């Protein structure tokens, strides 16, 4: 049986540049080129990390935010992301430019569903 492991990390990297104003600062930042990635790798201050394991035909999905198994919930980006809780689905919608879940649903980018799980797994 194949298992897909998805490691999702959110991290913050700070850059300091000398500049007279924000426009000049952005221009200097853009001039850093490949050095951006070197500084990024040196800092890599991980804010959060989620490990998701998806197994073929096990009937469960894993919440992209909490890492919890789920048999019902919100699906975004054709299964690219799963949300067990509506508050997390709403946050995803807002972060992706939608005013609410209904608007994202109308654009076919998110929906709520249930998954059938095999009987032998229901009592686990």
Q: Measured between alpha carbons, how far is 17 from 12 in angstroms, rounded to an integer? A: 16
Within 10 angstroms of residue 31's Cβ, the number of other Cβ atoms is 10
The average pLDDT across 62-75 equals 89
Helix (H, G, I), strand (E, B) or coil at 39: helix
Check the CA dihedral 100-105-109-110 and report its sign: positive
pLDDT, tens digit, 9 for 90 and up, residues 82-123: 999 999 999 999 999 999 999 999 999 999 998 876 554 555
């Amino acid at each position: 049986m194949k298992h897909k492991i998805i490691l999702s990390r959110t991290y913050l990297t700070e850059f300091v540049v000398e500049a007279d104003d924000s426009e000049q600062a952005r221009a200097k930042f853009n001039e850093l080129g490949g050095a951006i990635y070197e500084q990024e790798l040196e800092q890599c201050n991980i804010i959060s990390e989620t490990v998701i394991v998806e197994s073929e035909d096990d009937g469960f999905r894993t919440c992209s935010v909490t890492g919890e198994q789920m048999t019902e919930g919100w699906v975004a980006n054709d299964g690219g992301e799963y949300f067990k809780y509506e508050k997390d689905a709403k946050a995803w919608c807002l972060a992706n430019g939608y005013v609410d879940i209904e608007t994202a649903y109308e654009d076919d980018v998110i929906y709520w569903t249930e998954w059938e799980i095999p009987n032998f797994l229901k009592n686990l």
